[in-house]
Amino acid sequence: MSFEDLRKQARQLENEIDLKLVSFSKLGTSYSSQGHAQDSRRAETSPLLGSTNSEHMFETMALEIEQLLVKLNEVNDKMAEYSQNGGIHTNNPSLMHTLQRHRDILQDYTLEFNKTKTNISAYRDREELLGSVRREIDNYHKGSSVQNRRTDLLLKEQEHTRNADRVADEAINIAMATKENLMGQKGMLGGITTKMNTLAKRFPVINNLFQKINLRKRRDSIILGAVIGVCVILLLLYAFR
């Protein structure tokens, strides 16, 4: 290839690199603006470069620019070698200016690429760190919520237990009061029975009256039992008839 062909190839690579760097710089600017907007909202929990498409775009563009910079460096080396071995005078000011200009352009592109790549990597690391911290905070809040729910359940269970104990105590107190009342009534009835027996012993007429009353009660009971028995027998005969 002639020196002019190498110059054309270098210009073509420079133009291609320039377009790639513009797109790469816009990618870094968009990441930066998204990062500030995310900080203002404070609602996102995933890093900016968390999506597969963004990661793929970043890696692909960086790799393409690196390859183009390597090719441009190779072309610049070939032009310098051609100027020394191709019969062109190295003291030609125009030639030296052209070579230096291409080297400066390569250096500027390399610096710009490294700067943009470093900024994007810094944004990515920052957002990944923030996303990790936010996830830890969310997990802590979730764990606290679960613990609070468990504490509430335990408190409610203790309250139910206290209520059950209170109801049981009230029932026991009522039973004790009822027992005391029944014991009092039993004593009262026992006193009345004793007095009645004493009166019966002192007054035979009254005793005879009580005996007749008891006999009449027994007779009535026997008659009532006999009537019930006859009725039952009649019902059974009617049922199996």
**Average of per-residue pLDDT across 178-201:** 73
Express each pLDDT in 92-144 by its tens digit: 677 888 888 999 999 999 999 999 888 888 887 887 888 777 777 777 777 66
CA dist 7 and 102 (Å) reads 9
Domain boundaries, the chain: 3-32+49-146
Express each pLDDT in 40-50 by its tens digit: 444 444 344 44
pLDDT at 40: 47
CA dist 83 and 89 (Å) reads 7
Average per-residue pLDDT for the chain = 78
Percentage of the chain lying above the pLDDT 70 cut: 79
**Average of per-residue pLDDT across 191-210:** 70
**Higher pLDDT pick, 54 / 77:** 77
pLDDT at 82: 79
**Average of per-residue pLDDT across 132-158:** 76
Indicate whether 17 pLDDT > 90: yes
DSSP state letters, the chain: --HHHHHHHHHHHHHHHHHHHHHHHHHHHHHHHHHHHHHHH----S-GGGSHHHHHHHHHHHHHHHHHHHHHHHHHHHHHHHHHHSS--TT-HHHHHHHHHHHHHHHHHHHHHHHHHHHHHHHHHHHHHHHHHHHHHHHHHHHHHHHHHHHHHHHHHHHHHHHHHHHHHHHHHHHHHHHHHHHHHHHHHHHHHHHHHHHHHH-HHHHHHHHHHHHHHHHHHHHHHHHHHHHHHHHHHHHT-
Class of domain 3-32+49-146: mainly alpha
**Higher pLDDT pick, 207 / 45:** 207
Indicate whether 239 pLDDT > 70: yes
Model pTM score: 0.48
